[in-house]
Structure 1
Amino acid sequence: MSDDALYLGLDLSTQQLKGIIVNSSLDHVFHTKVEFDGDLPEYKTVKGVYNNPSEKEVQAPVVMWLDALDLLFKRIVDSGKVDLSKLRGISGACQQHGSVFWNSRAEAALADLSPSTTLKNNLQTSLSWQLSPNWQDHSTAKECKQFEEAIGGKEKLAEVTGSGPHRRFTGPQILRLKHKSPELYKATDRIALVSSFIASVLAGKFVGIDISDVCGMNLWDLEKKEWSPKLLELIAGDDETVEQVKHKLGPVEPKPKSIGNISSYFTEKYGVSDKCSIVPFTGDNPGTILSMPLETNDVIISLGTSTTALVVTEKYVPSAMYHMFTHPTGKGYMGMLCYCNGALAREQVRDEINKKYHVSDPQSWDKFNEFVLNRPILGDNPDECSIGFYFPLSEIIPDCPSTLKRFVWKKGQSEPQDVTQPSTASASEWQTPEDDALRILESQALSIRYRLAPMLTTESKTPRKVYFVGGTSRNDAICEALSRVLMPSEGSFRLDLADACAKGAANLAVFGASATTDTWEHFISSKYNYSTTQSVGGHHTQDRYAAAIDTFTKSEKYLHEHL
């Protein structure tokens, strides 16, 4: 690996294309981006997409991404700060689930890209459909039902593909296109994910879908590592064979290694080295876990508008309530829990507290944090346990409509007391909203802990390390409360994961292009800058919530039965 070699990581998200260039030590060299709405206004997108509410469709113009790729390389060149002749590898992490439909002219067009014109002019006529369904698209309810029925239910679908039926997933989207626009589907020769589409453009040839991003399609059998015959039969219907559908989907790249060098279009137009390798692109969530040295049993918890927990695991324990992907290095798995009710639910409790105590700044967390740090922990009272559910939005985990519930379990009782209304609870049982500050954090953390446990191989069934990211991770009191429930054996840390997908993609480019025989874990840990992590939440040796987990699961069941 040359000491002056450079590597590019691309992140094609819904609203922008971002590029980060690093050296072989993974040090940051350069960063640029293209904002779709602002930099490419001719496409008239809103937040990168077109919305059709009447059909619940959310789609993006594919050629906009081609213009963005040209513009990003132009900006790198125009900056004068990067010598692209030193570029030795490119990989990417792109928005998941979106699909691109190539026609029969695509393969030849990719192989003969003319640098005298644009990517858009080279490839626009090679698309059988000019649009790509976005992950926000919810138009496939009918097709999701068909996927369930074809394989034997939601849990069976999760067992095979790693996820239950989801409207944004690629398989149902493909089936809907075939139903709605059969002429477009018939004209399709190859179906790519956004990740493999961009990789193919850079390579000047078809590049297979990577082993992790393919898990967001509801079509890939994770354990058998093959396309699911039953689900391909569903796509095929009466007018195609399974082999024809398999041809459209193409091969799957089993691990991150060079699949060839960059197209001459980029060497002639932008001065990129002809020795620059293309490493298969992955999805944005898999890309995130490549941005840092996560080991087995490590967890990232993103505390944003929604709450997401990502775990690296050696165990395949699928459920329709969450997602499992093959790890993007091809070894092991990645579990993903997605909760709708994250920051919004916490902010509602904060607002009630600030209103009651006449806090001058309505967005201040000080009073909320005071109660988080000083209220009794639910696991400390052996005779009574208080569990709250705070769902201002319909929830995915568990599947539940919008609701607010407060339950108090007394020792020896078979059912809890519902104290949701303040008038039904004594001050000793539940003080509203003061007790809600800690209870909402305990509830959110217990749900994560309970569902992560089957995926973890530690003796305690708790994480090794927990990394908090996102806006709320700046709140020490919240991180402390969550960490106390999750009980990571080697501590909790706060990370700034800005540009995580692009950084993970750049790391992947270095790893894949270098053809190293090193393991991913040793590679990333030996090069990672640990000064970017900050210890937070304390180190807890006493598990004060072990007994509360059973009460929490009973409460979830009771909630489901009584709504």
Structure 2
Amino acid sequence: MIFLGIDLGTTGVKLVALSDEGKVLFKHFEGYNLYTPKPGWSEEVPAEWWKAILKSLKAVSDFLGRNSTEVKALALSGQMHGSVFLDNNGKVIRPAILWNDTRTIKQRKEIESKIGKEELLKKVQNLPLEGFTAPKILWLKENEPENYSKLWKVILPKDYINYKLTNRICTEPTDASGTALYDVIGKKWSNEIIEKIGLHLNIFPEVVKSTEAIGKISKEVSRETGINKECLVIAGGADNVCGAVGAGVADDGQMLISIGSSGVVFLPVNNPMKRDPKGRLHFFNHVENLWYNMGVTLSAGLSLKWFRETFEKHGLAEQREDKNVYDFMLEKAKKVSLGSEGLYYLPYLNGERTPYMDAKARGIFLGFSLRHKEEHFIRSVLEGVAYSLKDSLEIAKKYGLKVKEAKIIGGGAKSELWTQIITDVLNVNIDTLMMDEGPAFGAGILAAVGSGVYSTVQEAMKTMVKTKRTFKPISGNVEEYGKRYDIYKSIYRANAAIMSKSFDIERETTK
């Protein structure tokens, strides 16, 4: 039997085909465009997602040939919080507003003012941050009333693909919990909060289990892609949950670190009372009867990508010969000593979530001098992201969460240098994985469970997830990074008011 895991990410679709023992048989990537029509805006076109999905399914079908009949099930992982607005014909009304979009500062304040932070944390266990779904719907209502008048359903990105595959509209708890309108503990839409902010329950989809089969792929999709028409579509999960499943992280005392476009510290719990009472960490549903605390650095891998795109044309391309540009950049960073000779980087390129929840925060390089060269800046980006991850872990430690083991996934996990920096900054042992295919791999595991090959996610993880290497903290580095982390924290506090004022001036100028 073969299972497909598909991750609908920010930069593209990643598909993997897995055996029932977790062996990766095939993988494929299809990119698409990210649009930023105004400062703080981040949008994508669902039709481009669908085109990439069809290409990916066709690619795996062509690869498998006659064996494509062995594809028993597929499941999707998807970027959280995004809003896909559908009319009553099931057509997309406007481009999807994504998780890293910060246009909804006003709407977030409206919700918090109308409901109160304490009540929100009680009813839905999360605050309605700018990137979440709730303020996006209000933004549509207030700023595009014509589009809002057409609104029939609002769904999450991966759920749109499930709809296109099966003609069924639904979601599941791991994605619903990122809307700030879902009771994470009660596992149901909070009609009380929905009504208080002027919305209606009927615009939200039904909620099913992450491992539930929601249907089979349609005849049209089967015909176009060559995928077996008996292939089950499993509800799937949010990208961070699927990343955790793919890494075997689903128990108290475990931690997942993910370095993709964003950076994540993910801490599962089996008791819903083990959460930050101030809401600085997100508190969402994990698979089965689990929850998790999560801290987010919005621009982790995106910071390195931004640096590459901004400065590669100024010499990196000519120097690297045939090397991958990221490998080349990281090799340069290895030449620099711990601390980047006093250069600090704050990775707040498009606002920040944990621990500040500040959409007006912006990136900072501080402390550079005539001594600093390109490689110092590259290393300071790696260190700045690691410090930001530590911000999340420090909050979790304050209310009793203990980390016994940690695993790392994502593009950043491929770098020994970056993984060792994170290990030293967080002062924990960190495992890398044999099959680091991230959320797509976890989605494949959910497909295997949903099709009945495994009875539980934990059972599937024991067979399908394998560790590759363990990184251990270097004691001297831990001490030195501890000193520098204190400085890192003080930089935001000293500049927050300045960043806010600058943001307001620039927003007023670009209106």
Q: TM-score normalized by structure 1?
A: 0.68
**1:313-328 equivalent positions in 2, closer than 5 A:** 313-314=269-270, 315-317=274-276, 319-328=278-287
Report the aligned-residue RMSD.
4.4
Give the 3 Å change call, closer, same or farther, for CA 439–75 of structure 1 in structure 2: closer
Contact 2:10 2:261 in 1 (8 A): no
Residue number in structure 2 paired with 1:292: 247
Secondary structure of 2:180's partner? coil
1:253 paired to 2:212: no
Where do 5+ consecutive residues of structure 1 fail to align? Answer: 37-46, 106-125, 238-244, 349-359, 376-386, 406-419, 423-430
Is the 1:453–1:461 Cα contact (8 Å) retained in structure 2?
no
**Amino acid aligned to 2:438:** A
Quote the residue 1:86 is aligned against.
70
- Which residue matches 2:145? 182
| Identity over aligned pairs, percent | 20
Letter in 2 for 1:85: T
CA contact (8 A) 1:151 1:157 kept: yes
Q: Which residue of 2 aligns with 1:24?
A: 20
1:327 is displaced (CA, Å) by 0.8
Q: Please point out which of 40, 45, 60 is paired with 1:61.
A: 45
Report the Cα distance in structure 1 between the residues aligned to 2:28 and 2:385, rounded to whole angstroms: 36
In 2, the alpha carbon distance for the partners of 1:401 and 1:133 equals: 20
Q: 1:222 aligns with which of 175, 179, 184?
A: 184
Any residues of structure 2 matched to 1:235-254 within 5 Å, and which?
A: 235-236=197-198, 245-254=200-209
Q: Measure the CA separation in 2 of the matches of 1:19 and 1:443.
A: 31
Q: How many residues align?
A: 468
In structure 2, the partner of 1:502 is 440
Cα offset, 1:152, TM superposition: 0.9
- 1:267-286 correspondence runs (5 A): 267=222, 270=225, 272-286=227-241
- For residue 30 of structure 1, give the secondary structure of its aligned residue in structure 2: strand
| Partner of residue 521, structure 1 | 458
Summarize the alignment of residues 94-493 of structure 1 with structure 2, pairs less than 5 Å apart.
94-105=78-89, 126-127=90-91, 129-153=93-117, 157=120, 160-206=123-169, 208-236=170-198, 245-267=200-222, 270=225, 272-296=227-251, 297-303=253-259, 307-314=263-270, 315-317=274-276, 319-338=278-297, 340=299, 371-372=337-338, 390-391=345-346, 393=348, 396=352, 397-398=355-356, 399=358, 448-449=389-390, 451-452=392-393, 455=396, 461-467=402-408, 469-471=410-412, 474-476=415-417, 479-488=419-428, 491-493=429-431
Q: Which of the two has greater helix per residue? A: 2
The letter for the 2-side match of 1:25 is E
Distance 1:78 1:527 in 2: 25
In structure 1, the partner of 2:37 is 52
Q: In structure 2, do the counterparts of structure 1 residues 25 and 318 end up closer, same or farther at CA, with 3 Å as the change threshold?
A: farther
Distance 1:14 1:343 in 2: 10
User: What is the TM-score of this pair, normalised by structure 2?
Assistant: 0.74
How far apart, CA to CA, are the structure 2 residues paired with 1:469 and 1:83? 29
Question: How far apart are the structure 1 equivalents of 2:262 and 2:465?
Answer: 28
Match in the other structure for 1:512: 450
| 2-structure distance, mates of 1:342, 1:500 | 14
Q: 1:367 to 1:218 in 2, by over 3 A?
A: closer
Greater Rg by CA: 1
| CA distance in structure 2 between the partners assigned to 1:161 and 1:130 by the alignment | 27
The structure-2 alpha-carbon separation of the partners of 1:272 and 1:74, relative to structure 1 and needing over 3 Å to count, comes to closer
My pick for the range that moved more, 465-474 or 219-228, is 465-474
| Range with bigger deviation, 127-136 or 157-166 | 157-166
> Structure 1 residues 466 and 217, CA, compared in 2 at 3 Å: closer, same or farther?
same
**Are the structure 2 counterparts of residues 556 and 163 from structure 1 closer, same or farther at C-alpha, using a change threshold of 3 Å?**
farther
Secondary structure in structure 2 of the residue aligned to 1:280: strand
